[in-house]
Amino acid sequence: MTRLTVLIGVLVVGFITLTSTLFTVQETQQVLITQFGQPIRVITKPGLQAKIPFIQNVIAFDRRLLDYDSPGEEVILGDQRRLVVDSFTRYRVVDPLLFFQTAGAAESGIRGRLGSIVSSALRRVLGNETLLAVLSAERTRVMADILREVNGEARRFGIEVTDVRIRRADLPEENTQAVLTRMQSERERVAREARAEGAEVAARVRAGADRERTVILAEAQAQSDVLRGQGEEGAIKLFADAFQRDPQFYQFYRTMQAYREAFGEGESRFVLSPDSEFFRYFRDSTPVPLTPNPVLPNPAQAPAAAPNPAVTPG
């Protein structure tokens, strides 16, 4: 029983010693071996490795890309604009020994220093750039300058920064309203200019239409006057020919027209002497001899309203 106990104890001690001696390095890891707190060697190849048990310790570092999100901070640009920048950084540990000597065994020890490096680089580079450069296609060049400065500082800690990006770039809250007001004023100015140009074009079109209307009316009035003059000329000539053929009948006809216009409404009043020539045909009912086959004017060609004839002595 005593031998069995001793054998079991030897096996247990052997197992513990073996597990403390052998260790595995993963493909995503790189290992630093320390002895009494002092670094001894660095192992970067994956596989089964060995160390002195109980004396040497294994510190593993991730060899993959790591992310660090910087909190948003206010930066003053080269044109004195203020901008709240929210960035992130991607890095990897390339020198475990230097990383252990400068930042410690934990990867969290580098985050505070990396945040200071990124913040300083952002302020230096963006302090020489304008807002338009940060928000335009030149942003790629700006980020390359920031990456170069951050990487130059980060190599002192055994890490390599592969990328620095600005996730968001916003104006401070106190400046946002001013910018929005300025944008609104600019849009209103553009709208006023557009309305003014539209009103100018409308006035020009309206003036052209009024001018064409005036020209068309004037030409129509001129043509109407010409036609009216030609018609009146024909009517006067026709009446003159008829008057020359039978003057007595023409005088009678014109007198009858004057009676119709004077007494047509039935409410006309005249203050005349009984022997007035206007009532000549009322006093003298002697028939007037007519010229055989007189040529009378065509009523369709006569004017609608002929002037009243003058009173002719009988």
Report pLDDT digits (tens) over 56-91: 788 888 888 888 888 888 888 887 878 888 888 999
Categorize the per-residue pLDDT at 303 as very low, low, confident or very high, splitting at 50, 70 and 90.
very low
For 107, phi then psi, to 5°, come to -70, -20
- What does the domain layout of the chain look like in residue ranges? 2-62, 66-176, 242-314
Whether residue 298 has pLDDT greater than 60: no
Task: State how far the Cα of 235 lies from the Cα of 257, in Å rounded to an integer.
Answer: 17
Residues 91-129 have pLDDT tens digits of 988 888 888 888 887 777 788 888 888 888 888 888 888
- Residue 10: HSE in the Cβ half-sphere, 13 Å Cα cutoff: 6
**CATH top-level class for 66-176?**
alpha beta
Percent of the chain with pLDDT over 90: 14
Q: What pLDDT is recorded for position 174?
A: 65
Average pLDDT over residues 37-52: 82
The answer to whether the beta carbons of residues 94 and 150 sit under 8 Å apart is no
Question: What is the token pair recorded at 94?
Answer: 């390339």
Place of tokens 């901070």: 73
Categorize the per-residue pLDDT at 175 as very low, low, confident or very high, splitting at 50, 70 and 90.
low
Percent of the chain with pLDDT over 70: 82
Q: What pLDDT is recorded for position 221?
A: 92
